[in-house]
């Protein structure tokens, strides 16, 4: 058997090996997305079997739908604030986890606890802590009467706190993996030069950590943008839709109202936002790679 | 390690699949062993299981050859709706009798999911025997589509030790609350349900009726009206003026009840269930609570929103099964069944005569005493689009109550979205 | 150095409190007698909430449902994904980058974007409201995860092993099955744990596609854990603890694997 024949055969087998995965991905992801786009061009009320093609009618209504724009605003705000706070907390946490100190094992294990708890459970757990009457937080604040989940200014921030609690550990682990990729020699050299620890952090750690940080940002922002579980459990989008994100709005329209046409338009719009976000991040990431 | 994990996973898989299959096969098992299997889909009644089971087995005794099976529905109304949306829309035939929320009857009737029961239960007879509110909810365009099973109604709770009597007008409620709070600082005035969910809509409709308004006009849901603006202004005012705590915008039934039960509020709007809780042994307000119709702007006793459940027949089942299903409904909505539900499960009977029933008066005096209140109970707008628009309404009502939008703006926005959803705009 | 030590200690305590505190509070709540929840402290602790969750409700059934769906998803994704991951890591063919990119893209899909068509598909094939049917949408996130983590594991195995097997006369598939797959066992275990945890925690699809109470999975059951009007906080807490402990135990037991798996796809690329 010639080397070329063998290579040809290898390629053929490779296609057979990946074929099932490709098929499955096409069936559960590609086809539904295309189907969602098609549905979004209809007025489709599931209950009454009312279905007719209306072209871009749903999107025309969407462009003037104040509730959509406020959901987009809430989603963007949630994403930016949650991801920022998570990064700000995760970097020191990762630096801490990298050091040797008594109890490091305990801390390492402890940070995995919130990560392992289902989002729904963590939201329930925090909902109880946020309870205005008997919740832990108002107790700790000395019997305050703060309406964490019911007051418009607070509720979205409460949801952000739940997300921060749950996902900071994941971000910290990503950062830690990045930290462990930085050669020890660089730190030794810096110490010999008598650099302060802040300076070392600024001029060695942070620049070398940049790719890991950007990657964490990419993952987390795309993930935060589709937030559903925590908000559904905490507030279902209330009060006054101030915590309603795109996913919540689309879900309610689809499954509560049974309006599959407009609901699909909302989910397609959400998808489009995620794609735009991903493209922007990948550009930034590409530029950072080039800069190195 | 991977090897040790695989058997565990495989085992779990088998267990999971088996339990999945067993349920799946239910659908096909129509008449096992010559007995007809009749399936009732309902929500748990939360109480001792005995009396209800006895009620069911009495039906089996009277109808030999019928095996009665009950299956649970999700407790939350919106999820129960989702269940029916997905199963009835898929023409499921695996249940015969189903419970429906008061606000779903027109929707399900129009969708052709529930059968027309007018022959077995003529509307005229329902009007004679049942309270007016529930009948209004189950009779659609002159045809009966469901039979009331048990009902709920929004009522006012007040503290008999803090106020001289129940307030009749909104102004009186505010004044009583202020006076009580002057004597006892730290007390809240009036707690109700202000969270963004269906309970808020009930509170809003009650205020709307209390201001002499209606939510429907000629089959169209009409909200951008003067009484609606006044209703939202009143609810917002309760918070803005401190009669109600700011936290009510996060309250559902239970949050309100907890505050009231701890003795920290003068008034509460809630369903009758809160009564039993208030009268418990260790309740701080035991014996200090009264109930009354909700106040109104002019002092006429107000109407509470009608809640509760009706029994209907799946339109996809065969005619023979439909006849059996109708028999079952007749059995479950009989005066005896009404009494069992009232005595053992604290469910308010929809039959008018039950409120004069001596055994009910003796066994559940509180329920018997609700007569004046249940007679005034009113259904929320009766429209097939109720579920489609309720989400929009909740969010706009919530915005107005929380002070994010003026009542005028919230209602304008609500009207625009409602018109779009119901197709009025086109 | 002393100051640094003190700073570290404070930071450790702060982080520990933040991450563990809420969970411990939940444990305490689950032991708190229901009637006393509004009091500052419980007068005594009780297992009542656990008893009513485990015996008063079909909660064990719910746990079994979750176990079934998560296991089915895991087995399915590993079966389908392992071969593809091997090919992606060791074989030369066109479209490798595209496939990995597509997998990453799919894993970033907002699940809401596919809910309406998936619902119609599941209904059309008669799998609405079925646990087996639920595993299908679960592959949207589980298969990409499998591909990424496993590909990076296969890449770590030396190429020589594969070449040697080929020289011995194995076809690429035989080389995969007889030589590389057994060596990738730790990678498979890691992937299995991650996929299992992600499936166990999934909420949106389960909420949408399952409607019968007896078929609920753990997150759905906990999110809907209410009596008619009441919010039984003690029972919710007990159920949360019951549903979470196995997961926390699994995670802590396989700490290193979880961490390496989570960061494998992300950092080594």
DSSP annotation string for B86-118: HHHHTT--S-SEEEEEGGGHHHHHHHT-B---T
Indicate the pTM of the whole model: 0.87
User: C55: which strand partners?
Assistant: none
Give whole-number Cα distances, A86 to A89, A93, A224, B72, in Å.
5, 10, 11, 42
Taking the C-alpha atoms of residue A39 and residue A53, their distance in angstroms, rounded to an integer, is 9
Interface of B with C (CB under 8 A): 1-3, 5, 9-10, 12-13, 15-17, 19-20, 23-24, 46, 71-76, 79, 82-83, 86-87, 89-90, 252-254, 257-258, 262, 271, 273, 282
Q: Looking at residue A292, what is its pLDDT?
A: 57
* pLDDT band (50, 70, 90) for residue B82: confident
Q: C229 and B90: CB-CB below 8 Å?
A: no
C127 or A269: which leads in pLDDT: A269
Q: Looking at residue B2, what is its pLDDT?
A: 40
Q: A28 and C136: CB-CB below 8 Å?
A: yes
Predicted ipTM? 0.91
Q: B398 and A258: CB-CB below 8 Å?
A: no
- Using the Cα atoms of residue B10, residue B11, residue B16 and residue B19 in order, give the sign of their dihedral: positive
Taking the C-alpha atoms of residue A165 and residue A86, their distance in angstroms, rounded to an integer, is 8
Q: Which residues contact B362 (CB under 8 A, 6 or more apart)?
A: none
Q: Looking at residue C266, what is its pLDDT?
A: 55
**Predicted confidence (pLDDT) at residue C257 exceeds the cutoff of 50:** yes
**Predicted confidence (pLDDT) at residue C229 exceeds the cutoff of 70:** no
What's the DSSP call for residue A255? I
Query: Which residue of chain B is at minimal alpha-carbon distance from C191?
Result: B2
* Minimum-distance CB partner of B391 among A46, A235, A256: A256
For residue B273, the chain C residues in CB contact (below 8 A) are 228-229
Q: Looking at residue B43, what is its pLDDT?
A: 86
Q: Is C112 on the interface with A (CB under 8 A)?
A: yes
* Minimum-distance CB partner of B87 among C129, C213, C224: C129
**Predicted confidence (pLDDT) at residue B424 exceeds the cutoff of 80:** no
Q: In order of start, what are the domains of chain A with their CATH numbers?
A: 57-291 (1.10.3720.10)
Q: Does domain C59-267 have CATH number 1.10.3720.10?
A: yes
Q: Looking at residue B300, what is its pLDDT?
A: 95
> How many angstroms away from the CA of C164 is the closest CA of chain A?
14
Q: C219 and A25: CB-CB below 8 Å?
A: no
- Using the Cα atoms of residue C168, residue C170, residue C172 and residue C178 in order, give the sign of their dihedral: negative
Q: Looking at residue C223, what is its pLDDT?
A: 87
| CATH architecture classification, B155-304+385-422 | 3-Layer(aba) Sandwich (3.40)
Taking the C-alpha atoms of residue C111 and residue C98, their distance in angstroms, rounded to an integer, is 22
H or E segment to which residue A50 belongs: strand A50-53
Residue ranges covered by each domain of chain C: 59-267
Of C33-37, C69-73, C83-87, C178-182, least confident by mean pLDDT is C33-37
∠ CA(B117), CA(B121), CA(B126), 5° rounding? 125
Taking the C-alpha atoms of residue A251 and residue A270, their distance in angstroms, rounded to an integer, is 11
**Predicted confidence (pLDDT) at residue B364 exceeds the cutoff of 70:** yes
Q: A96 and C8: CB-CB below 8 Å?
A: yes
For residue A100, the chain C residues in CB contact (below 8 A) are none
* pLDDT band (50, 70, 90) for residue C268: very low
Q: A151 and B81: CB-CB below 8 Å?
A: no
Q: Looking at residue B28, what is its pLDDT?
A: 37
**Predicted confidence (pLDDT) at residue B254 exceeds the cutoff of 90:** no
Chosen from A32, A36, A38, A251 to mutate, greatest number of chain C CBs within 10 A: A32
Query: Which residue of chain B is at minimal alpha-carbon distance from C73?
Result: B13
B238 or A13: which leads in pLDDT: B238
Query: Which residue of chain B is at minimal alpha-carbon distance from A155?
Result: B250
Q: B282 and C35: CB-CB below 8 Å?
A: yes
For residue A13, the chain C residues in CB contact (below 8 A) are 87, 91, 171-173
Taking the C-alpha atoms of residue B360 and residue B356, their distance in angstroms, rounded to an integer, is 8
H or E segment to which residue A86 belongs: helix A66-98
User: B348: which strand partners?
Assistant: B151
What are the pLDDT digits (tens) for B112-126? 999 999 999 999 999
Q: Looking at residue B25, what is its pLDDT?
A: 35
Mean predicted confidence (pLDDT) in C24-47: 88
> How many angstroms away from the CA of C222 is the closest CA of chain A?
7
Taking the C-alpha atoms of residue B233 and residue B297, their distance in angstroms, rounded to an integer, is 13
* Minimum-distance CB partner of B249 among A48, A239, A252: A239
Taking the C-alpha atoms of residue B426 and residue C59, their distance in angstroms, rounded to an integer, is 48
Q: B23 and C71: CB-CB below 8 Å?
A: no
Chosen from A59, A144, A242, A256 to mutate, greatest number of chain B CBs within 10 A: A256
Assess whether the previous peptide bond of A239 is cis (omega < 30° from 0): yes
Q: Looking at residue B149, what is its pLDDT?
A: 96
* Minimum-distance CB partner of C251 among A116, A174, A232: A116
* Residue pair B24/B317 in contact by the 8 Å Cβ criterion: no
Q: A271 and C110: CB-CB below 8 Å?
A: yes
Query: Which residue of chain A is at minimal alpha-carbon distance from B259?
Result: A133
Positions in chain A whose pLDDT score sits under 50:
1
Q: Looking at residue C1, what is its pLDDT?
A: 41
Q: CB C47: neighbour CB atoms within 10 A?
A: 11
Q: Is C26 on the interface with A (CB under 8 A)?
A: yes
Query: DSSP string covering A213-232, please?
Result: HHHHHHHHHHHHHT--HHHH
Mean predicted confidence (pLDDT) in B338-348: 94
What are the pLDDT digits (tens) for B126-183? 999 999 999 999 999 999 999 999 999 999 999 999 999 999 999 999 999 999 999 9
Q: Looking at residue B361, what is its pLDDT?
A: 95
What's the DSSP call for residue B28? G
Chains that touch B (3 or more CB pairs under 8 A): A, C
B31-152+307-376 CATH, one of 3.30.70.100, 3.40.190.10, 1.20.1050.90, 2.40.50.140:
3.40.190.10
Q: A133 and B255: CB-CB below 8 Å?
A: yes
Helices (H), C91-130: 96-107, 112-124
For residue A237, the chain B residues in CB contact (below 8 A) are 196, 395
Chains that touch A (3 or more CB pairs under 8 A): B, C
**Predicted confidence (pLDDT) at residue C269 exceeds the cutoff of 50:** no
* Minimum-distance CB partner of B388 among A49, A240, A258: A258
For residue B258, the chain C residues in CB contact (below 8 A) are 38
> How many angstroms away from the CA of A218 is the closest CA of chain C?
10
Q: Looking at residue C265, what is its pLDDT?
A: 56
DSSP helix/strand/coil, B424: coil
């Amino acid at each position: 058997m010639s080397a070329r024949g063998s290579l040809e055969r290898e390629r053929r087998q490779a296609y057979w090996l990946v074929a099932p995965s490709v098929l499955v991905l096409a069936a559960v992801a590609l086809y539904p997305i295309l189907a969602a786009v098609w549905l979004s061009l209809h007025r489709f009320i599931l209950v009454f079997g009312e279905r007719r093609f209306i072209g871009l009618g749903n999107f025309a209504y969407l462009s003037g739908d104040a509730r959509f724009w406020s959901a987009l605003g809430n989603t963007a705000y949630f994403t930016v604030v949650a991801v920022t706070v998570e990064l700000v907390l995760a970097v020191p946490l990762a630096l801490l986890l990298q050091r040797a100190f008594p109890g490091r094992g305990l801390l390492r294990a402890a940070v995995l606890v919130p990560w392992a708890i289902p989002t729904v459970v963590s939201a329930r757990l925090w909902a109880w802590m946020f309870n205005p009457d008997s919740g832990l937080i108002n107790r700790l604040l000395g019997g305050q009467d703060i309406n964490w989940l019911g007051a418009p200014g607070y509720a979205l921030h409460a949801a952000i706190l739940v997300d921060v609690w749950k996902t900071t550990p994941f971000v910290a682990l990503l950062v830690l993996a990045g930290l462990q990729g930085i050669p020890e020699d660089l730190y030794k050299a810096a110490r010999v030069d008598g650099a302060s620890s802040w300076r070392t952090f600024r001029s060695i750690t942070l620049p070398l950590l940049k790719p890991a940080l950007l990657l964490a940002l990419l993952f987390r922002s795309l993930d935060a943008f589709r937030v559903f579980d925590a908000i559904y459990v905490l507030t279902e989008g209330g009060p006054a839709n101030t915590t309603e994100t795109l996913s919540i709005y689309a879900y309610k329209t689809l499954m509560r109202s049974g309006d599959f046409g407009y609901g699909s338009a909302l989910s397609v719009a959400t998808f489009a936002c995620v794609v735009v976000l991903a493209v922007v991040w990948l550009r930034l990431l590409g530029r950072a790679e080039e800069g190195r | 390690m991977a090897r040790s994990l695989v058997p565990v996973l495989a085992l779990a898989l088998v267990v999971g699949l088996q339990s999945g299959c067993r349920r799946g096969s239910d659908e096909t098992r129509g008449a096992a062993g010559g007995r007809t299997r009749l399936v009732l889909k309902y929500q748990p009644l939360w109480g001792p299981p005995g009396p209800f089971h006895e009620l069911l087995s009495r039906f089996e005794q009277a109808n030999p050859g019928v095996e009665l099976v009950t299956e649970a529905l999700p407790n939350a109304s919106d999820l129960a709706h989702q269940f029916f949306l997905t199963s009835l829309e898929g023409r499921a035939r695996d249940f015969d009798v189903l419970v429906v929320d008061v606000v779903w009857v027109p929707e399900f009737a129009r969708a052709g999911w529930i059968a027309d029961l007018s022959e077995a239960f003529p509307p005229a007879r329902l009007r004679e025997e049942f309270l007016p509110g529930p009948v209004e909810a189950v009779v659609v365009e002159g045809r009966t589509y469901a039979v009331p099973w048990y009902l709920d109604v929004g009522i006012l709770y007040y503290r008999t030790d803090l106020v001289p009597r129940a307030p009749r007008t909104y102004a009186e409620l505010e004044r009583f609350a202020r006076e009580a709070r002057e004597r006892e600082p730290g007390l809240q005035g009036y707690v109700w349900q202000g969270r963004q969910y269906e309970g808020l809509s009930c509170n809003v409709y009650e205020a709307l009726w209390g201001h002499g308004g209606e939510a429907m006009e000629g089959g169209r849901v009409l909200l951008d009206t003067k009484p609606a603006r006044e209703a939202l202004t009143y609810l917002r005012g309760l918070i803005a003026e401190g009669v109600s705590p700011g936290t009510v915008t996060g309250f559902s039934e239970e949050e309100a009840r907890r505050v009231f039960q701890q003795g920290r509020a003068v008034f509460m709007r809630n369903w009758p269930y809160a009564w039993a809780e208030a009268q418990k042994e260790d309740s701080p307000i035991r014996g200090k609570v009264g109930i009354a119709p909700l106040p109104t702007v002019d002092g006429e006793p107000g109407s509470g929103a009608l809640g509760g459940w009706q029994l209907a027949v799946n339109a996809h089942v065969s005619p023979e099964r439909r006849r059996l299903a109708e028999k079952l409904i007749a059995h479950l909505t009989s005066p005896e069944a009404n009494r069992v539900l009232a005595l053992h499960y604290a469910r308010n009977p929809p039959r008018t005569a039950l409120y004069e029933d001596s055994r009910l008066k003796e066994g559940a005096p509180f329920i018997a005493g609700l007569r004046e209140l249940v007679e005034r109970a009113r259904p929320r707008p009766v429209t097939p689009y109720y579920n489609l628009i309720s989400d929009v309404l909740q969010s706009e009502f919530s915005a107005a109550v929380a002070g994010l939008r003026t009542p005028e703006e919230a209602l304008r926005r609500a009207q625009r979205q409602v018109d779009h959803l119901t197709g009025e705009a086109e | 150095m002393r100051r640094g030590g003190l700073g570290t200690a404070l930071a450790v305590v702060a982080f520990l409190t933040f991450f563990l505190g809420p969970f411990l509070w939940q444990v305490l709540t689950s032991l708190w007698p229901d009637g006393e929840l509004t009091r500052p402290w419980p007068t005594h602790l009780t297992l009542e909430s656990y008893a009513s969750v485990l015996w008063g409700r079909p909660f064990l059934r719910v746990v079994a449902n979750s176990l079934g769906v998560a296991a089915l998803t895991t087995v399915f994704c590993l079966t389908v994904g392992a071969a593809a991951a091997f090919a992606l890591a060791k074989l030369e063919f066109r479209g490798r980058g595209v496939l990995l990119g597509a997998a990453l893209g799919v894993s970033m899909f907002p699940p809401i974007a596919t809910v309406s068509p998936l619902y119609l598909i599941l209904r059309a094939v008669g799998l609405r409201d079925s646990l087996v049917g639920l595993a299908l949408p679960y592959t949207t996130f589980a298969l990409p995860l499998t591909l990424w983590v496993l590909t990076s594991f296969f890449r770590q195995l030396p190429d020589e092993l594969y070449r040697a097997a080929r020289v011995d006369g194995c076809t690429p598939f035989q080389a995969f099955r007889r030589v590389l797959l057994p060596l990738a066992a730790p990678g498979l275990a890691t992937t299995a744990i991650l996929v299992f945890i992600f499936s166990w925690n999934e909420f949106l699809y389960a909420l949408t596609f399952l409607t019968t109470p007896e078929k609920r999975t753990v997150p759905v059951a906990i999110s809907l854990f209410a009596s008619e009007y009441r919010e039984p906080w003690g029972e919710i807490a007990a159920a949360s603890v019951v549903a979470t402990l196995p997961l926390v135990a699994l995670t802590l037991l396989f700490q290193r694997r979880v961490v390496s798996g989570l960061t494998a796809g992300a950092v080594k690329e």
